[in-house]
């Protein structure tokens, strides 16, 4: 089994999203999967022009020359792809959206009705299953409502399925250096690794593991209190530098 993660965080390997992706892929590798983690930061990905030449003049290949020529085959050759992104304005990051827009060459342009009577594109060859990984600075899991619906719709149109979703409110805690917090996060990070193993072994995350992944890392009021203190300190430093 080949699992490829595309990380849409502007921070790349220094971001909170990377912590989640790295743990998930470690678990998948332990279960025997071939894994690859691709940060989109630093890749040259132009904006889709909507010219549809990839459907007519050069079927399957974009007319623009950039790093998508390398990334699209990796996507198509995977059994499972991980869309990993921090939450930006209740949605995927700009990097991830740009990457997703440029997936048009992989789509069959023809239309058909799905079992519910709604039109979608005809199924193309080599469609991988989908895992979604995201984090945000807000503490509640409710902030991922848009992503849950978005990837459900993407999977429907691609004739695929979302086999796992890992959403982490309070994601800023994932890289905090406090020894006590690191100790508290051990259980959560074990659950992320376990999720990777379960997707390879069972094709999905078990209910028990999913429940662990949805639990708050620390109480929401404690998180918000410390977050506000952090920004008070940063604003004070900024004011002192300006003075």
- Predicted local confidence at residue 125, as pLDDT: 79
226 and 217 Cβ atoms separated by less than 8 Å: no
Task: Quick: pLDDT tens for 113-145.
Answer: 999 999 999 988 778 999 999 999 999 999 999
76, pLDDT greater than 90: yes
Which three-class secondary structure string do you get for 115-181? CCCCEEECCCCCCCEEEEEEECCCCCHHHHHHHHHHHHHHHHHHCCCEEEEEEECCHHHHHCCCHHH
181, pLDDT greater than 90: no
Delineate the domains of the chain, giving CATH numbers in brackets. 2-217 (3.40.50.360)
107 SS3 class: coil
134 and 162 Cβ atoms separated by less than 8 Å: no
Q: pLDDT tier at 206 (50, 70, 90 boundaries)?
A: very high
pLDDT averaged over the chain? 94
Alpha-carbon torsion 142, 146, 152, 158, what sign? negative
Least reliable range by pLDDT among 37-46, 151-160, 176-185, 215-224: 176-185
Alpha-carbon torsion 77, 79, 146, 43, what sign? negative
Query: Average pLDDT in the 139-167 region?
Result: 97
Rounded-to-integer distance, Cα 201 and Cα 214, Å: 21
Least reliable range by pLDDT among 35-49, 102-116, 177-191: 177-191
Rounded-to-integer distance, Cα 20 and Cα 189, Å: 8
7 SS3 class: strand
85, pLDDT greater than 90: yes
Q: pLDDT tier at 243 (50, 70, 90 boundaries)?
A: low
Structure tokens at 95: 């990097």
49 and 106 Cβ atoms separated by less than 8 Å: no
């Amino acid at each position: 089994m080949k699992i490829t993660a595309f990380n849409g965080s502007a921070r790349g390997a220094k971001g909170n999203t990377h912590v989640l992706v790295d743990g998930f892929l470690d678990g998948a590798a332990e279960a025997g999967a071939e894994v690859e983690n691709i940060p989109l930061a630093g890749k040259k990905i132009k904006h889709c022009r909507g010219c549809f030449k990839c459907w007519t003049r050069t079927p399957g290949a974009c007319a623009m020359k950039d790093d998508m020529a390398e990334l699209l085959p990796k996507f198509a050759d995977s059994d499972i792809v991980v869309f990993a992104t921090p939450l930006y304005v209740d949605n995927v990051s700009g990097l991830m959206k740009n990457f997703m827009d440029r997936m048009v060459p992989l789509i069959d342009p023809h239309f058909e009705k799905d079992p519910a009577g709604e039109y979608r594109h005809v199924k193309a060859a080599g469609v991988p299953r989908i895992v979604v990984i995201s984090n945000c600075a807000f503490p509640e899991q409710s902030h991922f409502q848009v992503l849950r619906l978005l990837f459900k719709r993407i999977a429907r149109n691609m004739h695929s399925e979302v086999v796992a979703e890992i959403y982490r409110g309070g994601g800023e805690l994932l890289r905090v250096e406090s020894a006590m917090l690191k100790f508290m996060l051990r259980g959560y990070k074990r659950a992320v690794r376990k999720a990777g193993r379960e997707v390879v072994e069972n094709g999905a995350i078990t209910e028990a593991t999913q429940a662990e992944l949805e639990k708050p890392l620390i109480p929401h009021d404690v998180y918000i209190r410390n977050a506000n203190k952090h920004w008070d300190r940063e604003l004070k430093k900024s004011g002192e530098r300006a003075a």
